[in-house]
Amino acid sequence: MYLTEEHDMIRKTVRDFAEREIKPVAQELDEKAEFSIPLTKRMGELGFFGLRTPHEYGGLDMDTLAYVIAVEELARIDSSQAATLAAHISLGIGPIMNFGTGEQKQKYLPMLSTGDALWAFGLTEPDAGSDSRATKTNARLEDDHWIINGSKIFITNGASAINKGATVQVVSGEQNGQKEFSTILVDADTPGFKRVPMHGKMMWRASDTSQLFFDDCRVPASNLLGKRGEGSHIMLSTLDSGRLAIGAMGLGLAQGAFELALAYAKSRKQFGKPIAQFQVNAFKLADMATKIELARNLLYKGAWLKSNNLPYAKEAAMAKLYCSEIAREVADEAVQLHGGYGLMKDYDIERFYRDQRLLQIGEGTSEIQRMVISRYIGCFE
């Protein structure tokens, strides 16, 4: 209903790239927990990082649905590479594109749309996750500079060699006895700004996850993103958009897990016939296919609404919730169909099963999505 020739072209381009260049190395990168700069730059060369950036800044200026399809197709093969793209566009480029001044856009967007530079989104802290207002990282204005102190954790794209900085939520003062939140653009080479990779992850092992530390970082006052005191609004509206990308990751992972399960079930024989022909397994696969199609329709509706400047926050929360939960269900059933082989690292489904687990946690837990949805449907009126 919503798809155009442009959307079909994006799907084909990303799928071909993922099959040809990511799939052969995905298992090795996961095993080594290695972030791939070459793959990231290749995605840049193909225009993936500029999908949503306006033409005037060197981007392709495509709609949200095209972006969602790109993330979906990457996640169908490898969630780590999908996470790199999704976090950079939704959380890195998004806030600057939507709230930046003309000067800020001109400085950052051309660079961030090439794949040669990544940008991070500094919201989560050791004591501030679902409760973003528990932020402790603070900034004070002094001699036309913001002096920032504090730390962030679980930040995607924050510590690789091609990271160029982060958008950071800080406590910038008080308003009527309440914390005042602002967002500030912090360049990677700012003195006192330290970026540390996080290791030992169960999932997304080939993506870059980091901690950020700020020790009297002096940032020009002109690096304030949006107006002072609008930090929470900027961050939360950014998360609304990001939920569509996480939904796309869930959808793509579910599709990939289903395809692995179907292929295995058609080739594996027991009692003289393929296990796909046993009704219990055929029905599992039928249910998986149905759930994926439902998830796709819900997600694409949310993306279409956003592309057409219509209210979409409720649908984004629903899509994030449902696609994440379906990724869990499909990956679990896919492992079951693989039997003992599904528990071995030689089989891609083992990686898919691990990678899906973050989807119910990152960018708003499933519990938080249910809170958001319950407010939209009037439970607290």
Read off the pLDDT of residues 34-68 as tens digits, 9 standing for 90 and up: 999 999 999 999 999 999 999 999 999 999 999 99
What is the band of 1 on the pLDDT scale with cuts at 50, 70, 90? low
Position 177 pLDDT exceeds 70: yes
The pLDDT tens digits of the residues spanning 302-327 come to 999 999 999 999 999 999 999 999 99
pLDDT at 41: 97
CB atoms within 10 A of CB 345: 11
Q: Is 301 helix (H, G, I), strand (E, B) or coil?
A: helix
Q: What percent of the chain has pLDDT over 90?
A: 93
Position 176 pLDDT exceeds 90: no
Question: What are the backbone dihedrals phi and psi of residue 176, each rounded to the nearest 5 degrees, phi first?
Answer: 55, 40
Q: What percent of the chain has pLDDT over 70?
A: 100
The pLDDT tens digits of the residues spanning 104-120 come to 999 999 999 998 999 99
**Residue of 73, 363, 367, 381 marked active site:** 363
Please report which helix (H) or strand (E) contains residue 376, including its range: helix 366-376
- Which of 69-78, 80-89, 193-202, 227-236 shows the lowest mean pLDDT across its residues? 227-236
Mean pLDDT across the chain, nearest whole number?
96
The pLDDT tens digits of the residues spanning 331-367 come to 999 999 999 999 999 999 999 999 999 999 988 899 9
Q: Are 114 and 58 in contact (CB under 8 A)?
A: yes
DSSP character string of 117-164: -EEEEE--BTTBSS-GGG---EEEEETTEEEEEEEEEEEETSSSTTEE
pLDDT at 363: 86
pLDDT at 203: 97
Position 75 pLDDT exceeds 60: yes
Average of per-residue pLDDT across 19-30: 98
DSSP character string of 37-71: HHHHHHHHHTTGGGSSS-GGGT-----HHHHHHHH
The pLDDT tens digits of the residues spanning 244-280 come to 999 999 999 999 999 999 999 999 999 999 999 999 9
pLDDT at 128: 87
What structural domains and CATH numbers belong to the chain? 5-118 (1.10.540.10), 119-229 (2.40.110.10), 233-376 (1.20.140.10)
pLDDT at 132: 81
72 an active-site residue? no
